[in-house]
A and B are shown apart, each in its own frame.
Chain A
Amino acid sequence: MIYKFLSDLPKKDYPVVIFGSGPAGISLALKLEKKKINSLILEAGEENYSEKSQESYLSNVIGDDITDLRYSRLRQLGGTSGHWGGWCKPIENWNLKNWTVNVDKINSYSKEASEILNIDLKFNKTKINNHFNQIQFQYSNVRFAEKFKDHIHNSKYIDLCLNSQISHFIGEKQLIKEAKVISKKKVFFIKSKFFILACGGVENSRILLWTKEKNDNLINPILPIGKYWMTHPWFLGGVGFLKKTKMENMLNEDFLKYEGPIHFATSQKLIEEKKILSGAIYMNADEDNKFHKEIIKSFLCVSPEYGKKIARMLFNKDLKCGNIFLNLEEAPNENNKIVLDKRLKDENQIPISNIHYKKSKKTLYSAKIILENLATLFIQKKLGRVAVKENISDLNYYENLGVHHHMGGTRIGDDKNNSVVDNNLKVHDANNLYIAGSSVFTTSGYANPTYTIVKLSLKLGDEISDIINKKL
């Protein structure tokens, strides 16, 4: 059933309470439902978008600009999946080498995750040379609220309550006893055996930090909560043109034909050789003839003869021509962190988040090296030409196109000095508190996070049901 306020919820014991109804929370509840385990999802927002609810994302950014959380996140049923782009791709296995969790175990949930996201389990990769691969994304059309609202409403095992904002957990000696939840300005204390925080890449850290402040000996003080916060630097690196037929002929049957932008990604070899961060490069699927002409004009100025040949090709529609975008990995940095503001609180008296974020020189250095190598590849294989923005490695000119992926803050690991949750996503030294969502990512890779979020939630569902079944 779906309830509007906590006061409407009938008295019932739920072995698992999940905070947040985004992709992480709903995927987990669906997994528990399959195992016939009751769960209650508490969503802070309303059923649909509301400006008042979005105001709860008010936060301060100290350092470099990031997209205002009130616009990048959604506090409503289905969470931020209500306006996401739907890009799905698994994180490369070699990008997961610093994750202590078993990679094969995560990947064993790929099929189930792709069913939730309505995508094909096709993430092909074709080697172009030692430094680049052509890669394939899948595009999900799933809005979790739309897809699962009726299912949850009719479910025997899942109850969901809207307008229920968690303030903090209460407990002692490593055991969470209850959660303080505010619904329609009334305070409720929710008891359960297992508590799962799935509120998103900033809120998970905020609630955990507030829990730490409100309890003297519940959360281990050495845990780096809120630290190693990351995003995916996403920016325009330059322009270029690519001869599509030439590339198809070069790769023969291995050429990946799919709708949408043409994607390239850096290989592990390039990353290790040049000591840079990994990245994906894409040229938009949309064609803009006016912009094509601008690019060809620019090229004619530097290479009149070859430029004429290229200009002729533009009419054959054989030329992919346009902006070159980069989606890069960001290095985890202890100083990029979420902390609680000491003065400002939201309407539920929870301190707002202060996000300390500094852009990294390594990101821009990586962008420059990646595009230079792409330019070399285009020349050597006669695929086209690339122009790189002159000031690409200058931090002063770095314009992020938007910060929408929020990762880290409660990262996975074995070492309590640099991680918050263990391989089973359980908060270190807290017996019944788990975290789902991208805040557990140890490193970011370059791939969009939602597909991995869903896989991790499904894995967590199995872990919890195993524990519950053993206890029974």
Chain B
Amino acid sequence: MLKNRRFFLKNFFSGLFLLNIFLIIPYNKIQSQIKKLKKKKNKDLIWYLDESD
């Protein structure tokens, strides 16, 4: 039982890790390309920024 549970958890988390690599990261990249502009005000100027700025 224990061995099966470990096997299941190991596969589950490594699966999640792979999902993260193959799906989530590219998804984030796509998101960063289409994300809306972030605006921040400083004095009388509005800076247009990237989300990573």
Contact = CB atoms under 8 A, between A and B. Distances in A.
Nearest to B48: A375
Contact of A239 (B33, B45, B49): B45
Interface stretch (A96-104, A298-306, A325-333, A423-431): A298-306
Contacts of A465: none
B37 interface: yes
Interface residues of B, number: 15
Interface residues of A, number: 22
A161 to B, nearest CB: 53
Given A302-B40, A375-B37, A388 B53 contact: no
Given A298-B47, A389-B45, A390-B45, A376 B40 contact: no
A380 B43 CA distance: 25
Interface string A245-270: 00000000000000000000000000
Given A375-B37, A379-B37, A303 B45 contact: no
A387 B48 CA distance: 6
Contact of A386 (B33, B40, B48): B48
B5 interface: no
Contacts of B49: 302-303, 379, 385
Interface string B37-53: 10011111111111011
Contact of B46 (A306, A376, A379, A390): A390
A86 interface: no
A376 B22 CA distance: 28
Contacts of B40: 302-303
Interface in B1-53: 33, 37, 40-50, 52-53
Nearest to A300: B42
Contact of B48 (A298, A376, A389, A391): A376
Contacts of B45: 238-239, 298, 387-390
A380 B53 CA distance: 13
Interface in A352-405: 372, 375-376, 378-380, 385-391
A301 B48 contact: no
Contacts of B50: 306, 379
Given A303-B53, A306-B53, A387 B37 contact: no
Nearest to A379: B50
Contacts of A375: 37, 48
Contacts of B53: 302-303, 305-306, 385
Contacts of A378: 48
A378 B37 CA distance: 11
B48 A379 contact: yes
A158 B43 CA distance: 59
A388 to B, nearest CB: 5
Nearest to B51: A379
A378 B48 CA distance: 9
Contacts of A305: 53
The listed residue with most B CB atoms (<10 A of its CB), out of A305, A375, A379, A386, is A379
B39 to A, nearest CB: 9
Given A303-B49, A385-B47, A298 B37 contact: no
A301 B42 contact: yes
B15 to A, nearest CB: 34
B19 to A, nearest CB: 28
Given A302-B40, A305-B53, A387-B42, A372 B47 contact: no
Contacts of B44: 389-391
Interface in A256-315: 298-299, 301-303, 305-306
A372 B37 CA distance: 9
A386 B33 CA distance: 18
Nearest to A374: B48
Interface of B: 33, 37, 40-50, 52-53
Closest CB pairs A-B (n = 7): A375-B48, A302-B40, A387-B45, A303-B53, A387-B47, A306-B53, A302-B47
Given A388-B46, A390-B41, A390-B45, 7 more contacts: A239-B45, A298-B43, A376-B37, A378-B48, A385-B49, A385-B53, A386-B48
19 contacts: A238-B45, A239-B45, A299-B47, A302-B41, A302-B49, A303-B47, A306-B50, A375-B37, A378-B48, A379-B49, A386-B48, A387-B46, A387-B47, A388-B45, A388-B46, A389-B44, A390-B41, A390-B45, A390-B46
